[in-house]
């Protein structure tokens, strides 16, 4: 019987021997040629659209001396700024093989993604079970 080393055991992801398990899906590390953590920037579409509508409302209020449009525009700008400040980048663990690329793990926490990558690198460096 082979004693497999558990290199990572977290609620979202585990790595035992050369088998990475993420949310019930398994990945065998034997075919992995490269592994890296990628920073995925925060999406800006929603806040940018909200800012655009807010600016249009403010311009409309300035042209007509409309208090309501000014309040709505200002409120939209404040809400967009709050939304933007709450958005965080995500971090993906990417695995490259001869047949393509897979992203088995993504986290908002860079340290967690780095721990997953470190465990993968350690598993690849370890001798294969006979």
In percent, how much of the chain has pLDDT > 70? Answer: 92
As a whole number, the mean pLDDT across the chain is: 84
Span 16-63, pLDDT tens digits: 888 888 887 888 888 888 999 999 998 888 888 998 988 888 887 777
1 — pLDDT class (breaks 50, 70, 90):
very low
Mean pLDDT of 91-103: 90
User: Is 114 a residue whose pLDDT tops 90?
Assistant: yes
Contact of 16 with 123, CB cutoff 8 Å: no
CA distances (Å), 124 to each of 60, 71, 106, 120, in order? 61, 58, 20, 6
State residue 67's pLDDT score: 75
Q: Which residue intervals of 36-109 are DSSP H helices?
A: 45-64, 67-86
65: left (phi over 0), alpha (psi -120 to 50) or beta: left
pLDDT of residue 65: 64
Tokens 């899906």 -> residue: 25
DSSP string spanning 98-117?
Answer: TTEEEEEEEES-HHHHHHHH
- How confident is the model over 9-17, as a mean pLDDT? 84
pTM: 0.68
């Amino acid at each position: 019987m082979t004693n497999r080393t558990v290199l990572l055991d977290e609620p979202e992801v585990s790595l035992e021997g050369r088998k990475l398990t993420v949310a019930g899906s398994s990945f065998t590390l034997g075919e992995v040629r490269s592994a890296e953590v990628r920073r995925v920037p925060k999406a800006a579409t929603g806040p940018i659209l909200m800012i655009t509508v807010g600016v249009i409302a403010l311009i409309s209020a300035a042209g007509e001396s409309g208090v309501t449009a000014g309040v709505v525009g200002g409120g939209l700008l404040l809400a967009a700024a709050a939304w933007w400040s709450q958005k965080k980048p995500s971090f993906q663990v990417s695995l490259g093989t001869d047949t393509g690329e897979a992203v088995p793990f993504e986290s908002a926490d860079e340290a967690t993604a780095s721990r997953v990558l470190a465990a993968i690198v350690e598993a690849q460096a370890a001798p294969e079970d006979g």
